Amino acid sequence: MTVTRENREGCLILWIDNPPVNALSQDVRAALLSGVTDAASDATVKGIVITCRGRTFIAGADVKEFGAPPTAPFLPDVTNAIENSDKPIVAAIHGQALGGGLEIALACHYRVAAKGAKLGLPEVTLGLVPGAGGTQRLPRLIDPITAAEMITSGKPVDAVKAEKLGLVDAVAEDHVDAAVKIATSQSIQGRRLSERTFHLDTEKFEALAGATRKQAKGAYAPGAAINLIRSTAGKSFAEGVAEERALFLQLRASEEARALRHIFFAERGSSKAPDDIGDVKPAEIKTVGVIGAGTMGCGIAMTYLDAGMKVRMLEMNDEALDKGLARIQSNYQESVTKGRITEAQRDQRVENVSGATDYASLSDCDLIIEAVFESMEVKKAVVQQIDAVAKPGAIIATNTSYLDINEIAAFTSRPEAVIGLHYFSPANIMKLLEVVRAEKTGPVAVVTALALAKATNKIPVVAGVCPGFIGNRMLRAYVREAGLLLLEGATPEQVDRALTAFGMAMGPFAVADLSGIDIGYKARKEAKPGSFEPMATIVHDKLVEAGHLGQKSGSGFYTYTAGAKAPNPAALAFIEEARANASTTPRAITDSEIVERTMLALVNEGYAIVEEGIARSIDDIDVVYVNGYGFPRHRGGPMCYARALGLPNVLKTVERFGKGAFGKWWPVSKTLRAAASAN
């Protein structure tokens, strides 16, 4: 049974037990409705408590029902029955009360939270708005502007903040016992939120509306939520929930909601072990060695420190080591200052990191990750020294972005222990982790990497070995088309503007300036000749050779002076020079062509990667690009976006590009043809 009943001192406790997250499946909704209805006619029941077994309160809807027609009883039926009860109903919350879970709690007359609980309405992250009164009850309970901010951002608040806001009535050690006492002693007088109204401070609300539109980056749902709250302020609850439900049903059928559901499931699928790996248990990882105390190495170290593990950092000399350790301490102090962690957490994490300059210090590490210069010769020397000191069973990981991990593994006596862990900078913040499986990588290394991803709050994607793996191989195609667009008549500013309007976090030329144009330059020097289009990166190379490295040098595709960003005249001159040398006559290029060329370059390369077995599925391609490369989440990833365009249309366009001057870079994969044929 998903809901069981307990009578405690005249209080009916409805225990939801629907692991793993007590989702609001149809049987849970039916059992809750039945429990509340039966209690109404039971004279022995003074009050009701709704709570959950397991590790959390109701953490939202049942994902199995996502995208399917809803079945009765509908959630609004349940919340209305709860609120209309003549007997006090109290929500006893632990873990998370999210989405429909919080809507259930808001319908209750009182709310008690355990310490550490989190409460939120994250529906906009799935392209929706709350559909069972959440947008109407929350602003009737707490400050309407704060409520609107919670609804439009989807971000939860913790129990302490929830109590300050008035979202919960109490925070208790024994939240169920506290809820029982309230349910059997308090009145429902004035506690039905549907009997209240809410009004907006116009100036504050419009400021929030502007910020919401900016942060949405083209996503529709946050703005729709803003419009709904604006429209329903001052109206009756009945009018408000009618508008809310209509909008919810409209959004549920939208392309945006479908795309967000797609990436939701894709992220969960990417963390599963490959099908050919049997029932293998991950190795226990307690101490992690990190070689290289630069920006990347420190970020990787913090990833494991944040998860409570011990980290030993290795550098070539004391000066470099001290600088890295100081960077870690400074980063944690900044987190304390901003209220992200406590001083006790800072102290514990700093205590767990130590440093050395001798490889022998890594001899007791369970996992050793090299994060040194992107050069095969350098990495060869490093992994050979790791191999000489690492204990039996230790996993050896490389953070390379492009290099051949099969070749790196061959430099060791235990290639089965070697795996790629490609972190994205800043490593302690970015969610994506490419787990690169070389030809001889053993199953224990793979499942351990996936377990570590979960433990460190990363989203893993298993990739095979090729230059750039999944993400950077696709990035090369994207950068290629962006560079060729410059030759044909676009400017860096126009390309960046068109792609940020599409929803990309940044344009390719702004990204190059941020990361350093010399990074790609050095990678191309290591790459196999003929693996990229030189005309596409000729401007990049000229900028690097002239000392324009991006933000770190004060100029790249743009100049950076006193915080102001402007087109770099030197870059524009190099573009003109490249056009002249290529005998290219610049033409007018539309924003739509910029989006089409760059996006379909990603899609075409993505299908090739799947065909070659580098990625397990097109879903994994989407996970990589949404979480590592700033692709707009509300579009579901490049492969999801291609399906929205219609794969037959995509195929025709790719074939047209294949007939152009740079058509050799647009070979059509059999996988794309098959998918387009099946539509």
3-state secondary structure of 283: coil
Tokens at 294, concatenated: 């630069």
Cα separation, 142 vs 328, whole angstroms: 39
Cα separation, 176 vs 13, whole angstroms: 9
Q: Can you tell me which residue has the tokens 């919960």?
A: 168
First to last CA, the chain: 42
**C-alpha to C-alpha distances, 196 to 88, 98, 128, 137, 328, nearest whole angstrom:** 17, 23, 25, 9, 50
Cα separation, 296 vs 424, whole angstroms: 8
Nearest to 32 by CA among 73, 62, 65: 73
Query: What's the per-residue H, E or C state across 409-437?
Result: HHCCCCHHHEEEEEECCCCCCCCEEEEEC
Q: Cα 377–379–382 angle (5° rounding)? A: 115
Nearest to 97 by CA among 50, 146, 153: 50
* 328 within 8 A of 354, measured Cβ to Cβ: no
Peptide bond preceding 88 in cis form (omega within 30 of 0) = no
Helix or strand (DSSP H, E) at 562: none
Return the active site residues: 103, 123
Tokens at 361, concatenated: 């210090």
* 135 within 8 A of 225, measured Cβ to Cβ: yes
Greatest alpha-carbon pair distance for the chain in Å reads: 91
3-state secondary structure of 566: strand
Q: Cα 231–236–238 angle (5° rounding)? A: 100
Peptide bond preceding 529 in cis form (omega within 30 of 0) = no
What amino acid is encoded at 194 in this protein? S
Q: Can you tell me which residue has the tokens 């365009």?
A: 645
Q: Can you tell me which residue has the tokens 């004035």?
A: 190
Q: Can you tell me which residue has the tokens 């002693």?
A: 185
- Pairing assessment for the beta strands 558-561 and 564-567 based on DSSP bridges: antiparallel
CA Rg value for the chain: 28
Query: What's the per-residue H, E or C state across 173-228?
Result: CCHHHHHHHHHCCCCCCCCCHHHCCCCCCHHHHHHHHHHHHHHHCCCCHHHHHHHH
SS3 content of the chain, % helix, strand, coil (to 5): 50, 15, 35
The count of other CB atoms within 10 Å of the CB of residue 187 is 8
Cα separation, 267 vs 121, whole angstroms: 20
What amino acid is encoded at 674 in this protein? A
Cα separation, 630 vs 636, whole angstroms: 12
The count of other CB atoms within 10 Å of the CB of residue 163 is 17
